[in-house]
Amino acid sequence: MHKDLRGTHLSKKAFDNNEISTTLGDPHAYYEWDTGMGIGRFLQGLKEGRIWGTHCDTCKRTVTPPRVFCELCFSKNITWRELKTTGTVNTFSLCYVNWDATLIKEPHISAVIEVDGTSPRVGFLHLLNEVDPQKVCIGMKVEAVFKDEKERMGDITDIKYWRPL
Amino acid sequence: MSKNVAIVGVGFTQPQLKTVQVSYKEMVYEAAVKAYDNAHLASHKDIDGFVGCAEDLIEGTSIFDEYTPDQLGAVQKPVHTISGDLLHGLLVATMKIKTGIMDIVVVEAHSKASNLKTYYHVTNYALDPTWNRPLNVNPYYLAGLEKNYFMHHTKTTLEQIAGVVVKNKKNALQNDLAVFPEQTTVEKVLQSKPNFTPQTEAETAKQADGAFVFVLANEETAKKLSKKPVWITGMGWASDSPTLETRNWDEALYAKTSAHMALKQAHIKNIKEIDFFEIDDRFAYKELQHLESIGLYGKGKAGQALQNGDLNKDGKTPTNVSGGMLGCGSLLEAAGAIRALEVVKQLRGEAGQRQLSKANTALALSWRGIPTTSGAVLTFSRSLS
């Protein structure tokens, strides 16, 4: 609990001691989403330290994460393209609030990165690190930092974060 | 205002137990491309609006409607999602067209049931959180409660209910889309494992994956696009009170109210005039309960009608010629899509070996499943009177 916040605070102790009437709920909702052809190949690429995109030969547009059909022209006129693991910060935010609404000192830095080789304003949402938060700027050149090969799972977090070039 | 609305195109993927090779987006895309081709649309850009049928907790994504546009060609178009069965989606789309604002509206529903690993728990989350959910029992016991009450008060027998399974699974043998066709017997059904007594496993529809897209149009557009438009002549929908403690277990009031509303709109005075029926049968007893609730049979009479063969393909009131959910599978919010698709195929004369000799009009009914008391009824015709 952050002392600067206004209002009447409810404590964990009050909940634990049943001083506040509540009903505890656990959705127990578990999923295993089929990644499909597009995202499946993309995730396999990350495991190999590569970033895949797709090019719509009709719209002349390259996107990542890739998709096997173009949502604009609605065709399957798609070519796979391996992209570079570098890019440019398109936009970013310094996140000072934790899951439980407590404040944190060192912010998480979320950013949309235009991966080199994609069409303008086609981004890739991820995190920045190894950078002074106050020095992050739109237009900053960055590179992907992958996990060690043995640790990769075919997951978006196989890229640990992006850092300035 | 556009008076009449028709289904002019259908597209779907082959229902399967699992669909690991495709994402839900890729599955829906396939169904959409086929539907637009079936409707003879020159371009997806001709479509004015889209309705998705999906439930956030089942999909595993909050505000799931945000994920609808890409795979339907609906980017930067009016899109909205309803938490309801595809039949509900069809009537929503029909209303959109009837406003006169839109000429062509698409309805989509899909099932990726195989991706949801804790279906019963998610269903339990639909119960009241304070006084029902904490009891922490698999909520399918509600089927057992209802079936027990239904049998007790209507004198419907276990044998009659088992006969629904035999009929529908047999019908499914003639449907390429069916995932669970089977040649079975009343004895085998009665001997199957009890899951929520008096409900048994054989009487409970099993889940499957699949995607379905329907294209609807106003009269002028429908006549241009299709030689065999399937007209939606009546629509009804209703929800009873959600409480488990006050509901009427022997009669499905949502079905009764919905049917009354739809028949009135379609100017059908006697429900028996309708040529065939596609009815929610996710639990075998529900088919009989629904048939009685919509007024096709009196209380306690549907079971006897089944035993007389009246619900068979060649009977007086063919019911679930498609194979129903027991034969085709339970497809979450796309459950009603199997029914609507069967109606379209029969009314177009494209049902192949299970084509009915008389298929000019049809009625389809959806129930939203446990623990709901919500349903929808649509009536269809191959011609405008």
Question: Chain B interface, mutation test: which of A41, A43, A72, A74, most B Cβ atoms within 10 Å?
Answer: A74
Looking at chain B from residue 25 to 44, which residues have their Cβ under 8 Å from any Cβ of chain A?
25-26, 29, 33, 44
Q: Which contiguous run of DSSP H or E holds residue A155?
A: none
Contact A34 B133 (CB under 8 A): no
What is the spatial distance between Cα A41 and Cα A14, in angstroms, rounded to a whole number? 49
pTM of the model: 0.95
What pLDDT is stored for residue A103 in this prediction? 86
**Paired sense of beta strands B361-367 and B276-279, if any:** parallel
DSSP-derived 3-state class of residue B286: helix
What pLDDT is stored for residue A5 in this prediction? 65
A42-46: which pairs have CB atoms within 8 A and are 24 or more residues apart? A42/A66, A43/A154, A43/A155, A43/A156, A43/A158, A44/A154, A45/A82, A46/A146, A46/A152, A46/A154, A46/A155, A46/A156, A46/A158, A46/A159
The minimal CB distance from B121 to the residues A23, A27, A40 is found for A27
Q: How far is CA B312 from CA A105, A113, B214, B219, B308, in A?
A: 71, 61, 27, 33, 9
DSSP-derived 3-state class of residue A151: helix
What pLDDT is stored for residue B84 in this prediction? 95
DSSP-derived 3-state class of residue B220: helix
Sheet containing A61-63, strands listed edge to edge, beginning at the edge strand earlier in sequence: A61-63, A51-56, A78-83
Could you count the other beta carbons within 10 Å of the beta carbon of residue B361?
A: 22
Contact with chain A for residue B22, Cβ under 8 A: yes
Question: Which residues are CB-contacts of B175 (< 8 A; sequence separation ≥ 6)?
Answer: B181, B322, B323, B327, B328, B342, B354
**Paired sense of beta strands A51-56 and A61-63, if any:** antiparallel
Q: Tokens 């399918």 sit at which residue?
A: B140
What is the spatial distance between Cα B30 and Cα B138, in angstroms, rounded to a whole number? 35
First to last CA, chain A: 38
Could you count the other beta carbons within 10 Å of the beta carbon of residue B332?
A: 25
Q: Are B329 and B206 in contact (CB under 8 A)?
A: yes
* Domain B5-117+208-225 coded CATH 2.170.150.70: no
The minimal CB distance from B60 to the residues A31, A35, A38 is found for A31
Hey, where are the domains in chain B?
Answer: 5-117+208-225
The minimal CB distance from A30 to the residues B20, B71, B118 is found for B118
Hey, where are the domains in chain A?
Answer: 36-164
Q: What is the ipTM of this complex?
A: 0.91
Contact A67 B25 (CB under 8 A): yes
Range B236-262 average pLDDT:
93
Contact A69 B19 (CB under 8 A): no
The minimal CB distance from A36 to the residues B22, B117, B130 is found for B22
What pLDDT is stored for residue A101 in this prediction? 80
**Paired sense of beta strands A51-56 and B374-381, if any:** unpaired
* B48-67 residue pLDDT tens: 999 999 999 999 999 999 99
Contact with chain B for residue A36, Cβ under 8 A: yes
* B296-331 residue pLDDT tens: 999 999 999 999 999 999 999 999 999 999 999 999
Give the closest residue to B184 by CA, choosing from B202, B158, B166.
B166
Contact B73 A30 (CB under 8 A): no
Q: Print pLDDT tens along chain A (165 aa).
A: 456 667 777 777 888 888 888 888 888 999 999 999 999 999 999 999 999 999 999 999 999 999 999 999 999 999 999 999 999 999 999 999 988 888 888 999 999 999 999 999 888 899 999 999 999 999 999 999 999 999 999 999 999 999 999
Could you count the other beta carbons within 10 Å of the beta carbon of residue A93?
A: 12
What pLDDT is stored for residue B1 in this prediction? 55
Q: Quick one: what percent of chain B has pLDDT higher than 70?
A: 99
Tokens of B46: 């001709």
Q: How far is CA B70 from CA A73, A141, B261, in A?
A: 10, 30, 35
* B5-28 residue pLDDT tens: 999 999 999 999 999 999 999 999
Whether residue B241 is predicted with pLDDT greater than 90 in this model: the reply is: no
Tokens of B260: 């009354």
What does the mean pLDDT of chain B come to? 96
Residue of B nearest to A26 (CA): B125
Continuous H helices in chain B: 24-38, 56-59, 86-98, 119-124, 141-154, 158-172, 186-191, 219-225, 253-265, 284-293, 302-308, 324-328, 335-348
Contact with chain A for residue B57, Cβ under 8 A: yes
Whether residue B100 is predicted with pLDDT greater than 70 in this model: the reply is: yes
What pLDDT is stored for residue B2 in this prediction? 65
Looking at chain B from residue 114 to 143, which residues have their Cβ under 8 Å from any Cβ of chain A?
114-118, 121-122, 125, 129-130, 133-134
The minimal CB distance from B26 to the residues A27, A30, A68 is found for A68
What is the spatial distance between Cα A23 and Cα B131, in angstroms, rounded to a whole number? 10
What is the spatial distance between Cα A75 and Cα A71, in angstroms, rounded to a whole number? 8
